[in-house]
Amino acid sequence: MKSNRLTNILLVAVLAVLLSGRLPAAAPTPVQPAAAAPAVPSGYIPQAPIISGYVSVPASAFHPMGNSESYYNYGTDLSPQNASSANYIAEVYLPDGATIDVLSCLMRDYLPSSQGSCTLIYQTISGSNLGSPGDMGSASTNHSTTAWETYSTIIIPYAQVDNSLRAYSILLYLPYDDLSHYIVFGGARIHYYYSTVYLPTVSK
């Protein structure tokens, strides 16, 4: 009898608590602290997941390496007018810290034998190899393909740009023969990407 009375008392107490809405709230789930973001190096900003792009150099940027005036430069294309006007040069600014992997050049080749070329070169302006130039890659034409074509090459040595150590240029070789065959240059393009997780704030 006492057991039944105790049970009834407990049931009444539970019912009263339910009706009053005063049941104790469930314990909150502990919030885990967020992982700390990696420290950003001084002078850099976080980059997007994929960062790549191009540096384009138009024909209008090129000038002859010698004193020749026997060439045509219409801005959109460049061509020699005699055999002494074969070599041209243009400076190019590449984004510091980027990796460059492909050099592409637009050319029309009217020559039946000789090849034209487009070469990315550098001059060492600081460090232990001061004053030492070098080639980074060269794209060549394929003989008498008179339509516009893009010729490309893979950049291998010194693929990471370091403007504190090297200055960069593009060298053109556009031969001209005695039968008035020549090569027309339309522009160059360099592909680059960033392989690190940060971008230099001064580069883009």
Residue 6 resides in a domain: no
- Distance between CA atoms of residues 138 and 103, nearest Å: 8
| Cα 29 off chain centre by | 46
Please count the structural domains in the chain: 1
Residue 18 resides in a domain: no
| Six-digit token string for 147 | 């339509």
Please give the pLDDT value at position 144. Answer: 62
- Distance between CA atoms of residues 113 and 82, nearest Å: 16
- Distance between CA atoms of residues 192 and 160, nearest Å: 9
| Cα 75 off chain centre by | 25
Please give the pLDDT value at position 180. Answer: 75
Please say whether the beta carbons of 119 and 157 come within 8 A: no
Residue 69 resides in a domain: yes
| Six-digit token string for 142 | 């394929």
| Six-digit token string for 24 | 């104790």
Boundaries of domain holding 99: 47-200
Please give the pLDDT value at position 62. Answer: 95
Residue 189 resides in a domain: yes
- Cβ–Cβ contacts within 10 Å for residue 101, how many? 15
Residue 7 resides in a domain: no
Instruction: Identify the helix (H) or strand (E) that includes residue 124.
Output: strand 117-124
Residue 12 resides in a domain: no
Residue 31 resides in a domain: no
- Amino acid code (one letter) for 178: D
Coil vs helix vs strand at 31:
coil
* CATH number of the structural domain spanning residue 183: 2.60.120.260
Please give the pLDDT value at position 169. Answer: 96
Please say whether the beta carbons of 168 and 192 come within 8 A: no
Please say whether the beta carbons of 96 and 163 come within 8 A: yes
- Distance between CA atoms of residues 201 and 56, nearest Å: 21
Residue 13 resides in a domain: no
Average pLDDT for runs of 10 along the chain of length 204:
56 56 52 49 57 94 81 91 86 93 92 87 90 90 80 85 95 85 92 72 56
